[in-house]
Amino acid sequence: MKMMKKYWFILLLVGLFTGVLTSCDHDDDKYIPTPPSVSIENVSGIVSCLPGETIELKAKLDNPLATTFVWDLDGEKVSTDSIYRFTSTELGTFKIVLTATNVDGSDSDSLTIKVDDGLFRFSNLKNWTGEGENCSALAIQWITGENMLEPADDEVFFIAWGYRWKEEENPLGIDMLKAIAKNDPRLYVAVSGSYIVGLGYDGNDDGKFEVKNESLTITQDDFIDGFYEIDGDIDGMKPVNSSDYWMGGLYESYATYWLGDGDVIPDAEEFEYSSLFVFNRHLENLSWDVWTLSPIDYVEMVNTLPIPRLIQAADANK
């Protein structure tokens, strides 16, 4: 009887062991889902283009299963191929989403492309002052080299600010200049009576500014709300710190005032030399007030034009 019980006990253990092995074999055969892993390969290597220019994008997939693709442009389906060629005649920013799907799931990737004609518009401005439905732009072109009339590109620092105003305010050019200088601590304006005789900029944004010549030194402490009424010889002044910018004068060179209009900055030849003092200039919606530095030559009297292709937006205030 004891032998029979021992025999049956052994059979029971063998059965349990066999069941475990069988169960393990089934676990090994269990199907493991493999959803796709997809990314957008930018074949063209650029994310900004001109109107009508093409950027080629390709689906990069890590999965052996049959997969379908859907490309969406700003929420609308535009392609089901593995390659998508983006082009647009309209300006703006466009979001492209690629979705890959197989029997086990889906995955997606996205990319943003900007279409830009390279022209500087009011919408490019970052540093704004004032409120209202109308807007004007102030731009200042500093030249670091000796040739004011034909500077090299790397000798030009040309930046612009935006100014918003209400129609009923009827602001003048000086109102815009004062408001922006007060709002942006990096901008410094020197005046002599009704003349703008100097314009400076804290290029390295360290809160310090100093210009000097043989007889006069001006620092950031001399300016109140960005303005300084100068008394003395202002010709030949240079920044003490090479990262800062200055232009102006009275007898050797002078700050030259130009006027333009339009949503896009005008071409150089479209700017008009202003015979008005900035104190008498009435702003218009989408107007441009631009300052350059011109040499004073009483024989030829040639003034330095703005160089619109080099203009940049002044940094937004922190």
Instruction: Give the percent of the chain with pLDDT over 70.
Output: 91
CATH number at residue 99: 2.60.40.10
When pLDDT is cut at 50, 70 and 90, the band that residue 20 belongs to is: very low
Residue 232, domain extent: 122-313
234-243: average pLDDT: 94
Within-domain flag for 67: yes
- The model carries a pTM of 0.75
Same domain, 69 and 189: no
Q: What is the mean pLDDT of residues 103-115?
A: 93
Mark whether 170 and 98 lie in a shared domain: no
Q: Are residues 164 and 303 in the same domain?
A: yes
Final residue of a structural domain among 81, 97, 115: 115
**Residues 205 and 66 grouped into a single domain:** no
User: In this structure, is residue 228 part of a structural domain?
Assistant: yes
Q: Is the pLDDT of residue 22 over 50?
A: no
In the chain, the number of structural domains is: 2
**Based on the domain organization, do 196 and 293 belong to the same domain?**
yes
Q: Is residue 126 part of a domain?
A: yes
Residue 212 domain-assigned (yes or no): yes
In this structure, are 73 and 175 located in the same domain? no
- On whether both 130 and 195 belong to a single domain, the answer is yes
Asked whether the predicted pLDDT for residue 24 surpasses 50, the reply is: no
CA dist list (Å): 198 to 35, 260, 280, 289:
66, 21, 18, 15
